[in-house]
Amino acid sequence: MRRWPLIGLVAAATIVPPATAGAQTPGVREVSASERGVIPLQTRIRYTTMVVLPESEEILDVICGDKDFWIVSSTQNIAHIKPAKESAATNLNLVTKSGAIYSFLLTEKAAPPDLKVYIDGGNVSPTAKPKYYSAAQVEALELQLAEARTTQRETERRAEEASATFRQDYPSRLQFVYGSLKYEKPFLVRSVWHDGQFTYLKSDATELPALYEVKDGKPALLNFQVREGTYVVPKVLDRAYLALGSQRLNFEQQGR
């Protein structure tokens, strides 16, 4: 009878079967989050734990209970967590753009750490509009408000300076060049002057007269406003007259 070498049987017995496709990689897991739940994370010094939120989320703010011994950074929907002290423990909240908050309990132990944790946010209900804003957004808004206040104060200061300058310079702009008019009825005109833009007639008359400007010997009816007994004409008059019935009061600039 022919005998087979034993070496072949031994080699066949020591072959390790391949790992099944469904085997879970150590340190990687998937966790379902809830609105009121807290997810425990096992970390380890000199290791980084990566937390992956749903792709639709964007982390706006990271709130860590102990910033001295925990290093937490984030970008888009991913957060990286690294302990800086053995046996450290704290809590962590990730505030997202949707308004959802993901809460974690962090502990550092010598046990195998969580290396990558995928968060299923199916049980977390985001709001229609963001309720929370990052510290950077708040700081940017405060800066804009401060700039707006500074601009407003500067505008008010310039307006006050312009008003003060106008009040200071205005008296020198008044030109009483129409001579002295007789103060008699029915016009009762006290004075006539202009400021380079408007002509003013101060009158005590109770009945409003018509005002005509004379140019090239022809009269033209003018509109004017009355402010507390002062007729305000929106132009500088050279020659004009007031008319009430058959009576007239002529006035014109002197020395022209």
Model confidence at 167, pLDDT cuts 50, 70, 90, reads low
Predicted confidence at residue 132, as pLDDT, reads 62
Higher pLDDT among residues 91 and 123, named by residue = 91
Alpha-carbon distance 231 to 235, whole Å?
12
> Shortest CA distance to 42 belongs to which of 24, 55, 29?
29
7: pLDDT strictly greater than 60: no
Output the pLDDT for position 105: 95
With a cut of 80, say whether residue 66 has pLDDT above it.
yes
25-137 CATH, one of 1.10.3470, 1.10.10, 2.60.40, 2.60.120 = 2.60.40
Would you state the CATH architecture of domain 189-252?
Sandwich (2.60)
Domain map of the chain by residue range?
25-137, 189-252
Given this model, what pLDDT does residue 19 score?
44
Are 25-137 and 189-252 equal in CATH topology?
A: yes
d(CA 96, CA 105): 18
pLDDT value at residue 130? 55
Contacts of 109 (CB under 8 A, 6+ apart): 42, 43, 44, 87
**Nearest C-alpha neighbor of 135 from the set 70, 61, 76:** 61
